[in-house]
Chains A and B, each alone.
Chain A
Amino acid sequence: MRPRNWLLVVLLIPFAAVLWPPLYAHPKPTILGMPMFIWYQFAWAIITAVLTIVVYALQERGEAASTERDDAR
């Protein structure tokens, strides 16, 4: 797991994206009548789900690879 720890930095992205409202608290542009303030946060709910799944998958792969290396030794 150690060599893949940099992956955890990816998990900080959602924090930066949603904890700074000046970034997205705007009435426009609208989607389906929804102001940016609302659709932006919905978008990040989806993006965060994708990010956590990707990080999980890469970590699993990293762990599998490192066990293989250990086995080869």
Chain B
Amino acid sequence: MHADEILIFAAFGLVVTGIGFFAARWQRGDLDLIEEWGLAGRRFGTVVTWFLLGGDLYTAYTFVAVPALVFGSGALGLFALPYTIIVYPLVFVVMPKLWQVARDHGHVTAADYVKDRFDSRGLALLIAITGIVATMPYIALQILGIAVVIQVLGINIEAALLIAFLALAVFTYVSGLRAPALIALVKDAMIWITVLVAIVVIPAKLGGFPAIFAKVPASKLNLPPALFAGYSTLALGSALALFLYPHAITGTFASKSQRVIKRNSAFLPAYSFLLGLIALFGYMAIAAGIKPVAPYGANSAVPLLIQFAFPTWFAGFALAAIAIGALVPASVMSIAAANLFTRNIWTEYVRPHATPREESQVSKIVSLLVKVGAVGFILIPGLTKYAITLQLAGGVWILQTLPAVFLALYVRRLDRWAVGLGWLAGMVSGTYWLVANGFSSSLTAYPIGGAAGTKMYIGLVAFAINLVVVVAGSAIAIATRGREARPERTMA
């Protein structure tokens, strides 16, 4: 415990909270409208969107968990690289199209789009619930990211978490999406500085890059053939899933034009490189002989490495970067989940005639409730592991919304019942394999390619089943009922 480290950490926390409140006045709009509070009026240009999406997609949990996986399991943890390499070409093609439809029809959430596209409230409800369920544990993991950092600082975890939570909750409530967008500018600058300094200072301290890799067991430096299929299915499945997450969709919808999204998918890969460097910290922690501490295990590797390698004042800065790194995604996620609840559950089923003012008010309150749940998950002993488990499952589940959201942009003849059944098939099969695995891993062995089978990502296999049902079901529906006469207006 060092006074200057804690002081710098707290100072940055304070500055960022101030920015969060000030954000309400930035690009001023009527925050009593959900499009203003929850999408910042769809006015973000290229630079803000770059920081917002970068700050939103690369979460504190990423910074902690990716190197932790490399630290603990070795090469498999590097799947984050191919994952983020292929995600942007995908975004480049799909997201401008989705943005355009959403903009033209005033959609705030993916479920809004699904409701219009398939003329089905029921299907929209499935998509909304999947999004909310996948997002909540993700928010909890952001709080966990802050907890891991605070523990290393040696201050009272409960008190510090409560303060962080209050700041986060209140500035999100007041400023909406403008707050995380403005804070993201600070967060990303801090993260880039931390990583670029670390990538020079830590190897210098450990005797250079060759010395680092020489200290890592060879088995952790290369991927064994048994994990080839697991590695690429994990990368592909995660890439397909990333922009189905409500927080990614909210960040995208908030941009002001198609061109902004295209430009961003061209320039966001800079973060993939950054993430790769962060993954290497896992190897550096091995070389530095870091001993992880309870209760966070391997997740404490990076914070401990930071304390080991830096003078206390810079460690305070770096740890603040990670903690602030949690605030941006946690804020966007809570806004996205709140928008889904308000638009696709509350005004759809509970108060169909809600005024725009009420809509925005409900969103603000739900954004608070969602975070209370997330903090509860982390503070109540024994629940943390469920947050991790549920986040793992969330990735498998959110991928099952792909046909309704992405495929629907390209294939006209999708039948809503087939898409719903496909979703069900994907959810049930994916959950079954997760349970059969005891939720210990998102890879499981499938009986193909030899006696031992082939380990693959559960989410992607479940998605394949989903897709078969959607295609076959739609073909049957067309054959029996004639072409589904869907309006073309939501096809883009």
Task: Please give the residue numbers on chain A whose beta carbons come within 8 Å of chain B beta carbons, in ascending order.
Answer: 8, 11-12, 14-15, 18-22, 25-27, 30, 32-35, 37-38, 41-42, 44-46, 48-49, 51-53, 55-56, 59
Docked CA distance A37–B235 (Å):
15
Query: A9 → chain B, closest Cβ, in Å?
Result: 11
Contact A35 B88 (CB under 8 A): no
Chain B residues contacting A11 (CB-CB under 8 Å) are: 89, 92-93
Query: B395 → chain A, closest Cβ, in Å?
Result: 18
- The listed residue (A15, A37, A45) touching B89 by CB distance below 8 A is A15
Contact B263 A56 (CB under 8 A): yes
Chain A residues contacting B210 (CB-CB under 8 Å) are: 32-33
Q: 0/1 per residue, B294-308, Cβ < 8 Å to A? A: 000000000000000
- The listed residue (A22, A25, A27, A55) touching B92 by CB distance below 8 A is A55
Q: Tell me whether B218 is interfacial, beta carbon within 8 Å.
A: yes
Docked CA distance A37–B213 (Å):
12
Contacts A45-B276, A48-B272; is A53 near B266 (CB within 8 Å)? yes
Chain A residues contacting B232 (CB-CB under 8 Å) are: 18-21
Contact B86 A18 (CB under 8 A): yes
- The listed residue (A14, A15, A27, A41) touching B218 by CB distance below 8 A is A27
Summarize A's interface: helix, strand, loop or mixed. Answer: helix
- The listed residue (B212, B223, B262) touching A21 by CB distance below 8 A is B223
Chain A residues contacting B213 (CB-CB under 8 Å) are: 30, 32-35
Q: Tell me whether B189 is interfacial, beta carbon within 8 Å.
A: no
Contact A48 B89 (CB under 8 A): yes
Chain A residues contacting B212 (CB-CB under 8 Å) are: 33
Contact A42 B273 (CB under 8 A): yes
Identify which of residues 195-241 in chain B touch chain A, using a CB-to-CB cut-off of 8 Å: 208-214, 218, 221-223, 225, 227-228, 231-232, 235-236
Interface bin, chain B: 35 or more
Q: Tell me whether B124 is interfacial, beta carbon within 8 Å.
A: no
Contact B235 A52 (CB under 8 A): no
Chain B residues contacting A49 (CB-CB under 8 Å) are: 266-267, 269-270, 272-273
Q: 0/1 per residue, B56-81, Cβ < 8 Å to A? A: 00000000000000000001001001
Contact B269 A48 (CB under 8 A): yes
Contact A45 B269 (CB under 8 A): yes
Query: B465 → chain A, closest Cβ, in Å?
Result: 20
Query: A63 → chain B, closest Cβ, in Å?
Result: 10
Identify which of residues 274-305 in chain B touch chain A, using a CB-to-CB cut-off of 8 Å: 276, 280
Docked CA distance A27–B218 (Å):
8
Query: B114 → chain A, closest Cβ, in Å?
Result: 25
Contacts A34-B209, A52-B269; is A18 near B221 (CB within 8 Å)? no
